[in-house]
Structure 1
């Protein structure tokens, strides 16, 4: 899964406004020519940034202006403004399979000899007895692998978001001028 180009375009827009905003009107046409995208894309992203009070846009030839100070504006602020992340989770996971997986939870009663893999009344007891088993969709199913994957993906997302929170637009402008 990729983060859409809206994020990098939005960062480019904001840095361009911050650096050139006093010298040039920041119209969607001008920004589009700088970033090599359609002006409609610029207008949509500016609308998203305006909605969260990062920029203000004057209709017609007025252009866009930064509202938020670049030293207070982080990449995370921009990411939140323009990215649509469903259910707050960046990563999508597969649905829990209904079959017993010997790798997933070897102690699952569904894997014992003679156990019916489609319905396992003993699996309900395993939920309480085995911390690696969990209740999913009102039916007992082992999901240790699923939970393990989810934990790692959430940790990766948290690390990315923390990095975005630590980087301000002012820092990026400083890097560009050095």
Structure 2
């Protein structure tokens, strides 16, 4: 998730610069194959436009209309933040009841997290990156 946000912010901030998967991977400190895979997921979600053989990706939506939830849904296939271990002892009081107990609690956490992610835009994150960079540059 954080790498996907990183990629989108990079594409927007460096829109007139080197947008190759190699350059983006250097920023993410990852490899170009991972960058291309994430860019493919972002493309399929309608957040990013890419073209094979061309290092000119661009956002398909205004960063102010792109939420963390949009990005999360693009790159997290199962969409669940928390997972229940289904291998427990059903003969035990805890083991026999923990899955359903946790599923209910985890659903509450999921809803709360998604509601919060929907409120945070890529534009806000880009703005904060730029503010932090200006502060860092003045040190």
Match of 1:162 in 2: 115
Alignment check: 8 A CA contact 1:28 1:43 kept: yes
**Which entry has the higher C-alpha Rg, 1 or 2?**
1
**Which protein is richer in helix relative to its size?**
2
Question: Which segments of 5 or more consecutive residues in structure 1 lack a partner in the other structure?
Answer: 1-6, 105-141
CA distance in 1, matches of 2:8, 2:92: 51
Paired residue for 2:136? none
Equivalent position SS for 2:72: helix
Measured in 1, the distance between the counterparts of 2:4 and 2:57 equals 12
Regions of 4+ moved over 3 Å:
95-98
Asked if 1 retains the 8 angstrom alpha-carbon contact of 2:8 and 2:59, the reply is: yes
CA root-mean-square deviation? 2.2
Using the TM superposition, give the Cα deviation of residue 35 of structure 1 relative to its aligned residue in structure 2, in angstroms.
Answer: 1.2
In structure 1, which of residues 8, 11, 14 is the aligned counterpart of residue 8 of structure 2? 14
Structure-1 separation of matches of 2:17 and 2:41: 22
Q: Report the TM-score, using the length of structure 1 for normalisation.
A: 0.65
CA contact (8 A) 1:73 1:169 kept: yes
| SS at 1:71 equivalent | helix
The answer to whether the 8 Å contact 1:25/1:64 transfers is no
SS in 2 for 1:62: strand
Q: 1:64 aligns with which of 51, 54, 57?
A: 57
Which position in structure 1 is the counterpart of 2:36? Answer: 43
Give 1:108's aligned residue. Answer: none
> In the alignment, what sits opposite 1:93?
85
> What's the secondary structure of 1:155's corresponding residue?
helix
